[in-house]
Structure 1
């Protein structure tokens, strides 16, 4: 995930706005979500790697396909989770092999 943080934020906000805009189209808006939900899930998994990206893709799919949930900014929330809350450096265990000569 060596992508630019600002670029991911801009993409996320754009996708959130598109997802929210379908709620304001009378009549056909809910039917557009049938096409938008899988596309949004694919974009989410492309933007964020690993298990967190897969979980986020499933969440955005459900959020877009379920009625009355279009107002949730899932892409922006994922960006906040990734770069604000989960950005603390993780400690890794390093094993050092020692050879003893007698």
Structure 2
């Protein structure tokens, strides 16, 4: 069951990114929702990903959600891939040496 946990986090990441896209769907309300969603997304990012990487990702998520037009960047999903795909490959390469 523990092996399925990363995939649950992937599903949550996709859903959270979709929430960030809603500002494009609802005209007029979108700008207000970005002001509310930016700090929430940063806080959620720190809870999903601990340590220095989570803090950096939270800062990026905050800026991405706060600035207009950048909502299309799937920050949560990118962080998931960085954590569970790219970092794992890096660890494997280091272990081989």
- TM-score, length basis structure 2: 0.86
Counterpart position of 2:9: 8
In structure 1, runs of 5+ residues without a counterpart are 92-102
CA RMSD, Structure 1 to Structure 2 (Å): 1.6
Q: How many aligned residue pairs are there? A: 90
Q: Using structure 1 for the length normalisation, give the TM-score.
A: 0.82
| Correspondence 1:66 to 2:67 | yes
- Unaligned segments of structure 2, at least 5 residues: none
Q: Secondary structure at the match of 1:4?
A: helix
Q: How does 1:11-90 map to 2 (within 5 A)?
A: 11-87=12-88, 88-89=90-91
Cα deviations by residue, 1:17-68 (Å, 9 ceiling, x for unpaired): 0001112210111111111010000100000010000000000000000000
Structure 1 or 2: more helix by fraction: 2
**Structure 1 moving runs of 4+ over 3 Å:** none
